[in-house]
Amino acid sequence: MRTEKILYVDDEPMALKYFERLINPMAPVLTALSVEEGKAVLQARGAEIAVLITDQRMPGALGNELLRYARDHHPQMVRMLTTAYSELGEAIEAINTGEIYRYVTKPWDLELLRADMRNALELAETRCERDDLLREKMAVQRQQLLASRISQLAVVCAGFLHADYERGLQTYLQAAELSGCALPPIDWRSMDHAELMQYEAQRSVAIGQALASVQPRFAGVDSSSAALQALADALPGQVQLQDGTATLTGRGPLTWLLDAASHEPPSAASVSWLAWLSYWAGSVQLEARPGGLAVRMRTSGTPAALQPDWMADAIERISQLATDEA
């Protein structure tokens, strides 16, 4: 939905009609008779509004209050104040505190008012384009971080798990895909790129050390039923066992290694899940169900051999899925 509408708030009905008749050929105009009514319009239709212009002196509350509300809840919106010459001090204060783009004095100069509204709409469009570019850039950065984590996880598994780590990692990625893996968050306000890389390196080391610690608990398991019970024991409260099927009821352990924040320590459940798969991935079948991810043991047959580019395919699929869900 495009943000192309103008909201004008004034307690004088004739001023609202006059403004609407004057500006409507330029952009659709919404109107409100008070600050509270203006807030209600913003709550209901804020995503459609590119420019807010409000009178200052109105019964009940001043226009500045509505401008502050819009700044806090719709920061991308271009905000303007219209006021009489005798109230310019309040308009200047609003500009200085970042509440408005500019003010328009009453009575209006019609050509200047049209020019001001045209400029405000152009500014709103520029902000929208900027925000779209920033969102696209952030999505690409988060996709790159997700791909890097999968690659780093392969390195960690090769160093800390037994020889058949690829099958375990492939099944882990399959489970993450079925469970709805998200793009990992990046808070550029609290870290720069070097700090992010430091966090990620520390994270990989912590995951590897946790895998080395957890892995031995599954080494002596020698039957399918015992394997499912060992999984339930390793993920207490998160696995339901019934009729030879283990259902993982939460997505956290299934995706944490890929989509958690960089500074969060590895969860025992997520590491245990990967370690368990390193032993039993070749014997399990996964199925996404409404209640969670169902894990069943194969009764016959063997899984197909992994293709040389299986990891690249997994990275592409999971990244696309996570981007679509973002």
C-alpha angle 187/190/191, rounded to 5°?
85
Per DSSP, 326 falls in state -
pLDDT digit string, tens, across residues 154-201: 999 999 887 678 999 999 999 999 999 999 999 887 888 999 999 999
- pLDDT at residue 133 greater than cutoff 90: no
The pLDDT mean for the chain works out to: 89
Residues 77, 85 contacting (CB under 8 angstroms): no
Residues 255, 263 contacting (CB under 8 angstroms): no
Helix (H, G, I), strand (E, B) or coil at 286: strand
Helical (H) or strand (E) element with 83: strand 78-84
Q: Which region holds residue 116: left if phi is over 0, alpha if psi is between -120 and 50, else beta?
A: alpha
pLDDT digit string, tens, across residues 282-318: 889 999 998 899 999 987 777 788 899 999 999 999 9
157 CB-near residues (< 8 Å, 6+ apart) = 165, 166, 168, 169, 211, 274, 278
Strand 78-84 to strand 49-55: parallel, antiparallel, or no bridges (unpaired)? parallel
pLDDT score of 88: 66
Q: What's CA 100's distance to the chain center, in Å?
A: 28
pLDDT digit string, tens, across residues 14-47: 999 999 999 999 999 999 999 999 999 999 999 9
Residues 252, 235 contacting (CB under 8 angstroms): no
* Interatomic CA distance for residues 293 and 290, integer angstroms: 8
Domains and CATH numbers, the chain: 5-108 (3.40.50.2300), 150-325 (no CATH)
**pTM recorded for the entire structure:** 0.70
